[in-house]
Amino acid sequence: MSNRYSFGGDEHLFVECDESMSLEAFFKSLSMTSAIRDSRIRGVTEICPANASFQIKFDPDVIKPDDILAEIQAIEKATTKAEPVINTRVVEIPVFYEDPWTHETLMRFRERHQDPQATDLEYAARINNLGGVGDFISAHSGAPWFVSMVGFVAGLPFMYQMVDRPRQLQVPKYLRPRTDTPKLTVGHGGCFSCIYSVRGAGGYQMFGITPMPIFDPEQKTSYLRDFMVFFRPGDIVKFRPIGRDEHDGIEGDVEAGRFVPIMRDVTFDLREFRKDIDGYNAKLEGEVHGG
């Protein structure tokens, strides 16, 4: 597939790798944006990867729009030939599924939902033809997710599950967006999961909550002192279901500055992944636990 290029006004070059979401499209966006970062083109001011596309902000007083286009197209040619390998990290995110806080919120906004008689998880399990909430949680936490985009609001990760298309969990957004979502809610819309970095409006289905802060503008959280945003595009996330006691324990540890997120640096190879998806994912999970 070849990229589609379009200018967003006189300061942005918008690049669509594919109009459909796929790991290949995301991978192309990620490897091209990292090649563009390495090439240090004068006049490029921001490089923003997204799910199946990306955006370059440039200063047209430094580089002409036609010249930036030519540079990026040359990089497209080069990366098509490059090996589909990235260095990234695997992070384990503890999730309290079916927690009381998102439950309270989803009950408040039931009239905006497709299925007011069911919870978001019950509905998601049913329309994905899974046996029940337990099976849905197993599918959601069973295979890792790529952070395919960080944004919408500060530090919010969009995640795409590292499974074949037939196994992708798909759930529509609420019929009308809610005016409230608890901070650190694990949500899902379309084929993407997300973690709400701040409290606020939202339209994604709500499945649970993580006790682990991912955005801290005051930088008081021990692991966010160097930088206030936790996630980066390309991170691999593994959700681990936890119960109320462990949730409260982690919350206390975060408060006391004792909590350390579990993460490991890894090299991801798309070809190896494609050969044996489940085996590759199991290996990634092994790495998280120091395997």
* CA–centroid distance for 252 within its chain: 26
Residues 75-114 that bind other proteins (CB under 8 A): none
Q: How far is the CB of 158 from other proteins (least distance, A)?
A: 6
d(CA 30, CA 36): 10
By residue count, the chain amounts to 291
Count of residues of this chain found to bind other proteins when the rule CB under 8 A is applied = 55
Q: How far is the CB of 233 from other proteins (least distance, A)?
A: 7
If one counts every other C-beta atom within 10 angstroms of the C-beta of residue 74, the result is: 11
Residues 31-60 that bind other proteins (CB under 8 A): 45-55, 57, 60
Query: Does 165 sit near other proteins (CB under 8 A)?
Result: yes
Q: Segment contacting other proteins (CB under 8 A): 71-79, 97-105, 189-197, 276-284?
A: 189-197
- Give 268: exposed, middle or buried? Use CB within 10 Å, 0-12, 13-18, 19+: buried
**Residue in this structure with the two tokens 């040619």, named with its chain if needed:** 77
Residues 210-239 that bind other proteins (CB under 8 A): 215, 217, 228-229, 231-233
d(CA 98, CA 83): 41
Q: Which of 34, 35, 63, 65 binds other proteins (CB under 8 A)?
A: 65
Spatial contact of 171 and 128, defined as CB atoms under 8 Å apart: yes
Q: Which of 38, 61, 245, 265 binds other proteins (CB under 8 A)?
A: 61
If one counts every other C-beta atom within 10 angstroms of the C-beta of residue 203, the result is: 15
Residues that bind other proteins (CB under 8 A): 6-12, 14, 16, 18-22, 45-55, 57, 60-61, 65, 149-156, 158, 160, 165, 172-173, 190-192, 197-198, 200, 215, 217, 228-229, 231-233
